[in-house]
């Protein structure tokens, strides 16, 4: 059975620091996106997508590099604790972000559904053969005389 190569302590420290930094930056972007969703600033969310995708890809690459350089059980306890803290924080932020995005999507779907239903109802009444229902107009009566002697 082949043993996994072990990274030197300096290399391991660099990999860990990079992974923790990427996790922190990703947490910041996700937290900002969640705040924008809650504030209903949908137009501003698009600007974050490229950064979010890039950071996610970098995080995955850094994680794979760390796990291929050092096996999990052989990591020093301080490194394990540091990675566990940043991983928990990232996981909590991802869950909060996903929930906000789902709630925002549901609210948007409901709003669009209500608008579509109202338009369909309005069109159905305007295209029927039944007499159009109008709101009663208030008329004012005035006294007038017309001279018809000509």
Per-residue pLDDT of the chain (150 residues; tens, 9 = 90+): 445 556 677 888 889 999 999 999 999 999 999 999 988 888 898 889 999 999 999 999 999 998 888 777 778 888 889 999 999 999 999 999 999 989 888 888 888 888 888 888 887 766 555 555 665 566 655 566 566 665
Q: Which of 26, 36, 50 is nearest to 101 (CA)?
A: 36
Name the H helices within the chain. 9-38, 42-69, 77-126
Q: How far is 114 from 21, CA to CA, in rounded Å?
A: 44
pLDDT of residue 55: 96
pLDDT of residue 108: 80
Beta-carbon-side half-sphere exposure of residue 85 (alpha carbons within 13 Å): 10
pLDDT of residue 89: 96
Domain boundaries, the chain: 9-102
Model confidence pLDDT, tens digit, residues 86-128: 999 999 999 999 999 898 888 888 888 888 888 888 877 665 5
């Amino acid at each position: 059975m082949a043993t996994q190569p072990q990274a030197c302590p300096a290399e391991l420290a660099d990999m860990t620091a990079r992974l923790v930094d990427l996790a922190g930056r990703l947490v910041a972007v996700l937290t900002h996106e969640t705040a924008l969703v809650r504030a209903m600033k949908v137009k501003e969310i698009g600007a974050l997508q490229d950064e979010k995708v890039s950071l996610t890809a970098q995080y995955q690459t850094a994680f794979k590099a760390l796990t291929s350089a050092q096996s999990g059980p052989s990591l020093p306890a301080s490194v394990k604790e540091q990675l566990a803290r940043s991983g928990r924080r990232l996981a909590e932020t991802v869950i909060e972000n996903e929930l906000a995005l789902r709630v925002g999507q549901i609210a948007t779907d409901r709003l669009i559904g209500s608008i579509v239903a109202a338009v369909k109802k309005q069109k159905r009444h305007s295209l029927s053969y039944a007499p159009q229902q109008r709101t009663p107009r208030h008329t004012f009566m005035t006294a007038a005389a017309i001279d018809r002697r000509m």
